[in-house]
Structure 1
Amino acid sequence: MGYFGLVVLILVLVVTDSRAEFRVSPHDLRVVINGSNSFLLYSTEKNRTQDSKVVFQPEHVDLARTEPDGFFIKNDEYNWTIKVIGLEPGHVLINVNISDAHPSDISEAFVRVTVERSEALYHISSIVGWVYFFAWSISFYPQIWSNYKRKSVVGLNFDYLSLNVVGFIMYSLFNCGLYWIPEIEQQYFSSHEKGLNPVQPNDIFFSLHAVVATLVTVFQCFIYETGNQKLSVTALIIHGIFVSFVTTSLIFALLRALQWLEFLYYCSYVKLVITLIKYIPQAFYNYKRKSTIGWSIGNIFLDFTGGVLSMLQMILNAHNYDDWKSIYGDPTKFGLGFFSVAFDVFFIVQHYVLYRDRNDYSIIPGNCQENREDEASSCYV
Structure 2
Amino acid sequence: MNDNHSLIPSYDTNIIHIIITILGYIYVICWCISFYPPIITNYKLKNSNGVSIDFVVLNSFGYICLIECLLLQYYSSDNGNTTTPNNTQQDKMIVTLFDIFYSIHGFILNLILLSQIMNLWPWKFHTGSATAIKGNKQRLNPSYYKLLKICVLIWILITLIYKNTANDSSYITFIKLDLAQYCNILIMGKILMTLIKYIPQIKHNYQRKSMIGFSKITILLDMLGGITSLLQLFLLSLEKVKDSSIMAVLGLNFGKIGISLITITFNSIFLLQFMRYKGNDVLILEKESINFNKKYRMV
Q: TM-score range by the shorter chain?
A: 0.7 to 0.9
Q: List per-residue Cα deviations over 1:161-216 (Å, max 9, x = no partner).
A: 11111011111222334445899953166511688884433332222111110000
The one of 354, 359, 363 aligned to 2:281: 359
Hey, what's the Cα distance between the residues in 1 that align with 2:79 and 2:240? 32
Q: List per-residue Cα deviations over 1:290-317 (Å, max 9, x = no partner).
A: 2112212121111011012222334555
Q: What displacement does 1:242 show?
A: 0.2
Query: What code does the residue aligned with 1:340 have?
Result: T
* Aligned residue runs from structure 1 range 38-187, under 5 A: 63-64=1-2, 89-90=6-7, 115=10, 119-179=14-74, 185-187=81-83
Q: What displacement does 1:354 show?
A: 0.8
Q: List per-residue Cα deviations over 1:5-40 (Å, max 9, x = no partner).
A: xxxxxxxxxxxxxxxxxxxxxxxxxxxxxxxxxxxx
Hey, what's the Cα distance between the residues in 1 that align with 2:269 and 2:93? 36
The answer as to whether partners of 1:304 and 1:340 remain within 8 angstroms in 2 is yes
Is the alpha carbon distance of 1:254 and 1:305 closer, same or farther for their aligned partners in structure 2, counting shifts above 3 Å? closer
Q: List per-residue Cα deviations over 1:333-375 (Å, max 9, x = no partner).
A: 3343222112111111111x211111345856993637x9xx9
Q: Partner of 1:226 in structure 2?
A: 127
Alignment partner of 1:266 is 2:189: no
Query: What code does the residue aligned with 2:87 have?
Result: S
Q: What displacement does 1:275 show?
A: 1.6
Query: What code does the residue aligned with 2:262 have?
Result: F
Query: What code does the residue aligned with 2:231 have?
Result: L
Larger Rg: 1
SS at the partner of 1:90? coil
Is the alpha carbon distance of 1:231 and 1:191 closer, same or farther for their aligned partners in structure 2, counting shifts above 3 Å? same
Hey, what's the Cα distance between the residues in 2 that align with 1:255 and 1:174? 17
Hey, what's the Cα distance between the residues in 1 that align with 2:159 and 2:250? 32
The answer as to whether partners of 2:93 and 2:252 remain within 8 angstroms in 1 is no
**RMSD between aligned residues:** 3.7
More helix by share: 2
Provide the identity percentage.
26
- Structure 2 stretches lacking a partner, 5+ long: 120-124, 166-171
SS at the partner of 1:309? helix
Alignment partner of 1:278 is 2:197: yes
Q: Structure 1-normalised TM-score?
A: 0.59
Q: List per-residue Cα deviations over 1:148-168 (Å, max 9, x = no partner).
A: 111111121111111111011
Hey, what's the Cα distance between the residues in 1 that align with 2:271 and 2:51? 15
The answer as to whether partners of 1:89 and 1:116 remain within 8 angstroms in 2 is no
Query: What code does the residue aligned with 2:141 have?
Result: S
The answer as to whether partners of 1:116 and 1:320 remain within 8 angstroms in 2 is no
Q: Structure 2-normalised TM-score?
A: 0.74
Hey, what's the Cα distance between the residues in 2 that align with 1:180 and 1:124? 24
Query: What code does the residue aligned with 1:296 have?
Result: S
- Structure 1 stretches lacking a partner, 5+ long: 1-62, 66-83, 92-113, 376-381
Q: Partner of 2:169 in structure 1?
A: none
Is the alpha carbon distance of 1:116 and 1:218 closer, same or farther for their aligned partners in structure 2, counting shifts above 3 Å? farther
The answer as to whether partners of 2:32 and 2:105 remain within 8 angstroms in 1 is yes
The one of 249, 253, 273 aligned to 1:350: 273
Q: Partner of 1:98 in structure 2?
A: none
Q: Partner of 2:88 in structure 1?
A: 192
Query: What code does the residue aligned with 2:102 have?
Result: F
Query: What code does the residue aligned with 2:147 have?
Result: I
Larger mean CA deviation between 222-231 and 339-348 belongs to 222-231
How many residues are treated as equivalent by the alignment? 266
The answer as to whether partners of 2:91 and 2:252 remain within 8 angstroms in 1 is no
More strand by share: 1
Q: Partner of 2:156 in structure 1?
A: 247
